[in-house]
Amino acid sequence: MLFVAAQVHAGRVALEEGERRIDYRDLPEQALAVTRGLMAVGIEPGDRVAIWAPNSIDWVLLALGLQCAGAVLVPLNTRMKGAEAADILARSGARLLFVEAQFLGADYPAMLAPHRPGSLEQVVTIATGSVVATEMTLADLRAKGLGVSLDAARQRALAVRPEDLSDLLYTSGTTGKPKGVMNAHGQSLRAFSEYARIIGLLPGDRYLIVNPFFHSFGYKAGWLTCLLAGATILPHAVFDAEAIFERVSGERITVLPGPPALYLSMLAHPRLESADLGSLRIAVTGASTIPPQLIERIRHELGCAVVTTAYGLTECGGLATICNPCEPAEIIAGTSGQPIPGTEVRIVDPQNRPLPANENGEICLRGFHVMQGYFDDPVATAEAIDAEGWLHTGDIGSLDSSGNLRITGRLKDMFIVGGFNCYPAEIEAALGEHPDVALVAVLGIPDPRMGEVCCACVVRKVGATLDEAGLIAWSRERMANYKVPRKVVFYEQLPTNASNKIDKLRLAAELP
């Protein structure tokens, strides 16, 4: 893809960030400079290499460079604390980490240092600025790469096969720690070629990527899709409604994917009437519930000719179904569309029997893009993918008579905070480490800004005086912001059901 794009789209801008621009024709050499550096420090095909950094031009070049080296990309969530990042680095067996020195007041190398796993051989800072010394900077790595020929790097890249692993994206489960989803190069290229075709992405489109690169929405439905179509990638590091509004009008953005909150913030902007947003052409969003009037407003008030919604999960590479942009607003808002070519969707009951149209059950997927499995976890893989190759998503939905998928809930009690998936079992395990917490249950509760936020229902240990502010402050030091409880309710005891399990339905109903 990289070498073909350089030939076909030479003369177009591939990456743009402020004054920095990289032409498609120069993209392979820029990526291979990273490949050469990695070869010089001993990275071999199949090795895992991690990136812990916000959206930027360098993020894309690092990802392409390590993948050209035959390595497997392991993106880390920029909201993670040091211990959370170290856990994934250890379990993925990452040999090298590219890390931003400073971002939003956090010193990433310093956060990692006390928890750094022994298996992580090298830490490369993308820029200077950390209080902790690392093995080398990105400039150092590129300099080392001068000892490896460009031709040797190109040959390494050309040896990568469609079935080779391209990435390990860690997704939190309902039990225990996040699991590494194994996906191959060919799967992603095929799926997102379809995505580019369906949304009508064109060479020269200017694609503002607000969704984080560590997530498939920003990575695969973001910069990878741009490279497939010859569009210009404009990375955006921090969600800020004002800054995004200014960039759309000032930088002639044509494509703007994002969560519903992104479009709502733009529609509420005081300068909506006077701003020049005429360049906008394509909007892509997704959520379990979207009001049809939002779709109509994106079409008419933001001027997007193409508005669509899609459904996917990390275990299927990030894309399973998508709405035809020509469908009425009710279909685009109320469903997630139809399977992309090469994908089957079925709805099953608890006994794994297919259900008829308009009946709710678990959404199951089968096709070329279903993951190769969870890294080093055959038991979890067997639980997720049945003997017939169906991926059991854990989401609840139905298919209408036309085959459109409607998402109606979750088998588990996952909730989504500002676009980030939150899994109660994972947060409960973390909160349970507080010395004053005897028992805790976590729920998602509605929030007008974030969609949902975390509520912790806590039973204190005898004699403890823990309060809401104390637990929230403790949590902020130990977990990503979106997981931190926004509300804490204390109980003498938590309600249980007949199986002596905490009755979360009752808890939710009785929350003050």
pLDDT at 498 over 60: no
- What is the CATH architecture of 2-13+24-160? 3-Layer(aba) Sandwich (3.40)
User: What are the tens digits of pLDDT across the range 363-410?
Assistant: 999 999 999 999 999 999 999 999 999 999 988 889 999 999 988 766
Other beta carbons within 10 angstroms of residue 270's beta carbon come to 8
> Residues with Cβ < 8 Å from 425, sequence gap 6 or more?
173, 174, 175, 176
User: What are the tens digits of pLDDT across the range 437-485?
Assistant: 988 889 999 998 898 999 999 999 889 999 999 999 999 999 999 999 9
* CB of 94 closer than 8 Å to CB of 116: no
In this prediction, residue 149 carries a pLDDT of 98
* CA–centroid distance for 325 within its chain: 23
pLDDT at 174 over 90: no
* CB of 122 closer than 8 Å to CB of 97: yes
The span from the CA of 58 to the CA of 71, in Å, is: 17
Cα separations (Å) of 474 from 280, 417, 424? 43, 19, 17
pTM as predicted: 0.84
CATH tag, 188-410 = 3.40.50.12780
Q: What is the mean pLDDT of the chain?
A: 92
Closest CA to 316 of 412, 247, 385: 385
pLDDT at 175 over 70: no
Query: Which residues share a beta bridge with 136?
Result: 124
Q: Write out the DSSP string of 350-383.
A: TTS-B--TT--EEEEEEETTS-SEETT-HHHHHH
pLDDT at 191 over 90: yes
> Residues with Cβ < 8 Å from 161, sequence gap 6 or more?
185, 186
CATH tag, 415-510 = 3.30.300.30
Other beta carbons within 10 angstroms of residue 98's beta carbon come to 25
Best mean pLDDT range from 111-115, 133-137, 349-353: 111-115
Least confident range of 93-107, 111-125, 281-295, 344-358: 281-295
* Domain assignments of the chain as residue spans, ordered by start: 2-13+24-160, 188-410, 415-510
Query: Which residues share a beta bridge with 48?
Result: 72
Q: Do the two domains 188-410 and 415-510 of this chain adopt the same fold?
A: no
User: What are the tens digits of pLDDT across the range 88-111?
Assistant: 999 999 999 999 999 989 999 999
| Pair of tokens at residue 118 | 């022994």
Q: Write out the DSSP string of 49-79.
A: EEEE--S-HHHHHHHHHHHHTT-EEEE--TT
